[in-house]
Amino acid sequence: MLGWVLFAIVVGYGVARVAVGHPRPDRRFARLARGEAAFLAAAAEANFPPGGDIMASGFDAGIPAYVDRLLEVLRPRTRLQMRMLFFLVEHATLFFPAPGRGGFRRFSSLRPEQRVAVLEAWERSRFWQRRFVFASLRAILTLGYFAHTPVLRQLGLAPLAIESPVCEADLLYPRIGALPESIPYTRDDLSEPSDGTPLALDGPLDPRYAEGAP
């Protein structure tokens, strides 16, 4: 009997450390669980701290919201793989602690300097599998960081506005999901093809990347 009680306590403690106590996110996500959002916010801030050569921090970039959008468009198997990656890094410190006091916690519950130390350990590991996990996580965070339009604007890398000429194919293909009746063009709308004039780099930005875009 005592054995069962002890076992239940251990299991309960384990579940609590893995699944309970994440802060409530400031918005609702379509795919991300509360714990995943907390992990991503913590990892984003450790990977892209405030200040430095690019103004925006990982927190400013709203990386959890971006990852949520990404998960929405991925197929179930890929989605699962990505979530397993988050789970792995979030909980690895329950088994391999971060340096300093209180290192046996979930990644998102560690102090900022401990999170940085954990990332460093993943990146520098002599086991390529650990480096691979880190590189995959960093890749996802970096994609989210660059999706924050002020980052690309500060670097001068935001896509420019380009008006697409209307070509024969535009009379054939509707937008994805729509019926051919919705094609807005007729033969009269066909325009001159591109004449190869180089893009002017000081031209206006694509509206999705312009100042004030969401």
Partner 1 sequence: MSALPTGDLRVFAQYERDFTEDVDVAVVGSGPGGAVVAKELTDAGKRVALLEEGPPFTPADFELDGALSMARTMREGGLRATRGTVMPTMQAIALGGGSLVNSAICNRAPDFVLDDWCTQFELEHTTRRDLDPHYDAVGKFLGIAPTPENVLGQRNLLFKRGCDALGYASEPTERNVRGCRGSGECFTGCRTRAKQSLDLTYVPAALRGGASVLTSVRVERVVAEGGRVRGVAGRVVAPFTGRPSHRFRVNARAVVLAAGCMATPVILQKSGNLVNRSGQVGENLQFHPGVAMMGVFRDEVTPQFGATQGYQSRHFLRDGFKLETLWAPPAVLAVRLPGYGESLKRRLAMIPHAAIWDAIASCNRSIGRVRARARGLDPNLSWRLHPQDLRILAQALWTLSEIFFAAGADSIVPGVYGIPEEIHSRAEAEVLRTRPLEVSDIVIGGNHAFCTTRMHGDPRRGVVDEYGKCHDVENLWIADTGVFPRCPSVNPMWTGMALAHRTAQALAERL
Exactly one of 23, 80, 81, 189 binds partner 1 (CB under 8 A); that residue is 81
Instruction: Assess 60 for contact with partner 1 (CB under 8 A).
Output: no
Enumerate residues 113-142 that contact partner 1 by CB under 8 A: 116, 119-120, 123, 128, 131-132, 135, 138-139, 142
Between 34-47 and 112-124, two packed helices, what is the crossing angle to 10 degrees? 80
Instruction: Assess 178 for contact with partner 1 (CB under 8 A).
Output: yes
CA distance 82 to 85: 5
Total of residues contacting partner 1 (CB under 8 A): 63
The distance of closest approach from Cβ of residue 23 to partner 1 in the complex, given in angstroms and rounded to an integer, is 22
Exactly one of 179, 187, 188, 211 binds partner 1 (CB under 8 A); that residue is 179
Tell me the two tokens of residue 32.
């991300």
The nearer residue to partner 1, 19 or 135, going by C-beta atoms, is 135
The distance of closest approach from Cβ of residue 136 to partner 1 in the complex, given in angstroms and rounded to an integer, is 9
Torsion, Cα of 144, 148, 150, 153 (10° steps)? 70
